[in-house]
Amino acid sequence: MELLDGKFLAKTIKAELKEKVAEYKAKGWRAPHLCAILVGEDGASQTYVASKARDCEELGMESSVLRFPNYITENELLGEIEKVNINKNIDGLIVQMPVPEQINALNVMNNIDASKDVDGFHPVNVGKMFKGLDTFLPATPYGIMTMLERYKIETSGKHCVVIGRSDIVGKPMAALLMQNTYPGNCTVTVCHSRTKNLTDFTLKADIIIAALGKPEFLKANMVKEGAVIIDVGITRVDADNERGYVIRGDVAFDEVAAKASFITPVPGGVGLMTRIGLLQNTLKAYEGHMKAGV
């Protein structure tokens, strides 16, 4: 078994991105700028946004966070998004989810300038992704694809089972693995809450991507010998420790690792690569804006 070490790989890619940013700044270009909009006081969202700001600082990029109360109206929020859209010094914009119930999340995504949509959720970018065109990829699938590529994991002709059908992970992950590229050329099965006899599918899988949000759902008896296991799950589980919780993935790591050829840990796996995907998208947006003179 080989560990797919997101911590090591993220550090390596950050060094590469930092060097690129330094080269651009040496040419007299301004620094890339990522803006995050945070609505409300959700603790997990605040932690995640703070980690993105630290990443940007580490790479020599600019970052900003626009904070709004949870009672902001949808029209007010869309107005703030438009201010960022027209700001030529901001390259990437993310609106941290979830947003309050009075705000339609789809309207939020649709109103972000597609050229600044570094989360890869705008319909234009989603459409380009499905067509195999150059675009911003959703950060988590992007991070996973990067991990598969950097670890030189064979995907062509392999049977991949994706557990979960979310717009954020499951659907785009399946689309990317079907593309005639590397990584890609997989035969993909998407399983979800209505799938009957799920184990029948997972036992035949060469690659399993678990993205359903149920701690330690995937057990050893559901996995064949030598399978590649990608664990997207990250759930806080109550525990008797100082923090009061531990982080668990969707895979029962200890028992599944004994059968896997490659496996991601939680934490220290896909989560860190998601942040890398976002940084890569931000640099891509920056390069596009600077070369276009925008």
Of the residues 91, 96, 171, 284, only one is catalytic, namely 96
Structure confidence at residue 236 as a pLDDT band (50, 70, 90): confident
260 has pLDDT over 90: yes
CATH fold for the domain made of 139-273: Rossmann fold (3.40.50)
Say which of 91, 113, 119, 231 is annotated catalytic: 119
Is 179 noted as a catalytic residue in this protein?
no
- Tell me how far apart the alpha carbons of residues 265 and 51 are, in angstroms, rounded to a whole number: 19
Which class in CATH covers the domain with range 28-113? Answer: alpha beta
What pLDDT, on a 0 to 100 scale, did the predictor assign at position 246?
Answer: 87
Contact 157, 183 (CB under 8 A): no
Is 46 an active-site residue? no
Residues 88-131: tens digit of each pLDDT: 999 999 999 999 999 999 999 999 999 999 999 999 999 999 99
Mean pLDDT throughout 177-182? 97
pTM across the whole model: 0.95
pLDDT band at 294 (very low <50, low <70, confident <90, very high): low
CATH 3.40.50.10860 residue ranges of the chain are 28-113
Q: For all residues of the chain together, what is the average pLDDT?
A: 96
Catalytic residue, candidates 52, 116, 158, 284: 52
Residue ranges of the chain that CATH labels 3.40.50.720 = 139-273
Residue 62: CB atoms within 10 A of its CB come to 17
Element spanning 39, H or E: strand 33-39
